[in-house]
Amino acid sequence: MPSRRILVIDDEPRILDIVQYFLEQGGYQVEAWAIPEEGLAAARKQAFDVAVLDIVLGDTSGYKVAGQIKRMPPNEKTPVLFMSSKVEMADLFLEHYDGRAEFIQKPFKKSDLLGKVETLLQGGGRVPEKKAVRDREPRARKK
């Protein structure tokens, strides 16, 4: 069986290199991009089994990038693993993302990353209970 294809987008080169290394060590074929537009261009051309996206990507967000990927015919059902050091953002993004997704907090261990990816590949992950508006940033909850 051919190895699974993983798309990784993170604007921090050091993190991008670590994620790519961990995934390749796990036997996955990885395309890693520091510039979101370049990652989106790759997603237009080929299907990926999982997308691993940083939530904070300079002028855009992993949430917006995920919405764009979902509108590309080869990747309409590609599950997403969102990454961030800001754990408080996880529930907010997962609650509003209209697709199968998981979250991992930076920094993380190789085994945790591979476990989350495998969960998504096996059909697991959080599935939204309600349809969300795509390409709109979730708002922070007032306390």
Tens of pLDDT along 10-60? 999 999 999 999 999 999 999 999 999 999 999 999 999 999 999 999 899
Tally of domains within the chain: 1
pTM of this structure? 0.85
Q: Which pLDDT tens digit goes with each residue over 76-109?
A: 999 999 999 887 777 776 676 777 889 999 999 9
Decide: residue 83, CB within 10 A, 0-12 exposed, 13-18 middle, 19+ buried: buried
In a domain, 136, yes or no: no
In a domain, 45, yes or no: yes
Under DSSP, the state recorded for 79 is -
CATH number, domain containing residue 99: 3.40.50.2300
In a domain, 62, yes or no: yes
Helix count and strand count (H, E) for the chain? 5, 7
In a domain, 141, yes or no: no
Q: Which domain holds residue 34?
A: 5-121
In a domain, 137, yes or no: no
In a domain, 100, yes or no: yes
The strand pairing partners of 5, in sequence order, are 29
